[in-house]
Amino acid sequence: MQYLTAAVGLVGSLCLLDLVLTLGVVRRLRDHTERLTALSGVSRPAASSDSLLPVGSVPDDFGVSTLDGSLVSRELLGAPALVAFFTPGCAPCRERVPEFVEYASGVPVGRDRTLAVVVGDDGDASDLASDLADAARVVLEQRGGPVSTAFAVRSFPTLYALDGAGAVAAAGHTVDQLPTPPRR
């Protein structure tokens, strides 16, 4: 009987040790996931609107060339306007691109006042840019580029609707957070 009690105690101790080690591994994996996400440059959608420019604020000046070679700046974009930021390798971005294209096709500002910014390496971003090209003028830029900096983009996807004065009228990470376009 003593051997049975000792065996049960030993097995219980081993199970408890295994549980403690497993919890340590899970904690370590979470830490590594956060670090890898930060290093890879792929942002998760923000859980709150803290990463968005507040309604009423005016984005900083910027000047860039679109994929079709035209120049665009805050002044040349015009107002009202629609500006969206996506990055390759971001699963929510891939999900939101078709929604954005449909939304942008229904807003009265038109393609000339709709700007889609694809942030990432040219090779990775070309597929995403081609998906957006019918609905918006597309800019490719690296992380920390002029348009992303002007709009203080820290997470993807990020969408802005600008009012007639060029100020932020609405902002969000999904088209549901933007004003409903009027029916045509």
> Residues 70-106: pLDDT tens digits?
899 888 888 789 999 999 888 888 889 999 999 988 8
Global pTM? 0.70
pLDDT of residue 46: 42
Q: Are 128 and 118 in contact (CB under 8 A)?
A: yes
pLDDT tens digit sequence for 58-74: 999 999 999 988 899 88
What are the E-state strand segments in the chain?
63-65, 71-73, 81-86, 114-119, 137-141, 158-162, 168-172
pLDDT of residue 122: 66
pLDDT of residue 117: 94
Q: What CATH fold (topology level) applies to the domain 49-177?
A: Glutaredoxin (3.40.30)
Tokens of 100: 């954005």
Range with the poorest average pLDDT among 62-76, 116-130, 154-168: 116-130
- Domain ranges in the chain? 1-40, 49-177
Cα dist from 40 to 10, 36, 134, whole Å: 44, 6, 29
